[in-house]
Amino acid sequence: VSRPYELIELPMPSRIARAEATDQLELKLEEPAQEEDGAQPTATETDTEEKWVCPICDESFRLYPAANARHRRACERRQREEIASPHVCPHCGRRFRSLQALRSHLGRTHPDV
């Protein structure tokens, strides 16, 4: 069978050779940046991260798209629940869709109040 390509075997480096090569690598740590007068920069001067502001609750977070999308969905769900359940128990904060359900809850859960 003829092949349109040629197989080439490359030698695999031995474990010892890989270990020696790893040992020869030097890790260089970057020294922290200093101001012209020798002072360390403050946190606000080095904080250049982009912020994301939730359009629903106006909280700001670091820009992590997956986490920001999860937060936004939670805020939207909370907003829908507030619209769908406008009656709130004054004692525990539980929400109800109807006034009758709230009255029933108050009679069963908070009878002494």
Q: What is the pLDDT of residues 40-70, one digit of tens each?
A: 555 554 456 788 898 888 888 888 888 889 9
Choose from 34-43, 62-71, 96-105 the range with maximum mean pLDDT. 96-105
Q: How far apart are CA 51 and CA 78, in angstroms?
A: 22
pLDDT of residue 104: 95
Other beta carbons less than 10 A from residue 56's beta carbon = 13
Say if CB 63 and CB 57 are below 8 A apart: no
Query: Could you please report the per-residue DSSP string of 31-92?
Result: PPP--TTSPPPPHHHH----EEE-TTT--EEE--HHHHHHHHHHHHHHHHHHHH--EE-TTT
Q: How far apart are CA 61 and CA 102, in angstroms?
A: 36
Query: pTM of the entire structure?
Result: 0.43
Judge contact between 89 and 100, C-beta under 8 A. no
